[in-house]
Amino acid sequence: MEQKKCSILTRGGNRLCFDCNGQKKMCILAQRELQHELIRLIEEGMTYFICDMKCGKGLYTAELLLHLREKYPQIEVECVIPFEEYAGRWAEPYRDRYFDIVAHCDKETLLQTRYTPDCMLKQRQYMVEAADCVIVLWTPNHTLRK
């Protein structure tokens, strides 16, 4: 049986929404909504999740999926990295989280070795084409599905 795949794309600059450690009501609601949607998809048979690894929402989503894998061992998590030094300029705590997540994912997909102006577009294209379902995290309290 072929795996059902879901890509989770993150957009917008609201990094803090998913890095607030539960301090803001909107943050908690967004995190709960995402977790509820992922659990619903898993229980409906989604087994493979593809994450964009963007600082903030992308890292949080991958961490959440790795945590959910404890309860749902059938799921697999793929990290899609647009270029080799992607997290190289991030603050150390984010870089540490990034490398920890990559180390625990089932698959790491590096799209190219160097940055190019279109590398993020290539990342999104890869993720959309690989998926049966796409979730876009656009704003702190809206999850859109295709």
State pLDDT tens for residues 65-77. Answer: 999 999 999 999 9
pLDDT for the residue 88: 94
- Percent of the chain surpassing pLDDT 70: 84
* Exposed/middle/buried for residue 100 (C-beta within 10 Å: 0-12, 13-18, 19+): middle
pLDDT of 89 strictly over 70: yes
25 — pLDDT class (breaks 50, 70, 90): confident
To the question of pTM greater than 0.75 for the whole model, the response is yes
pLDDT of 144 strictly over 70: no
C-alpha to C-alpha distance for 17 and 61, rounded to whole angstroms: 12
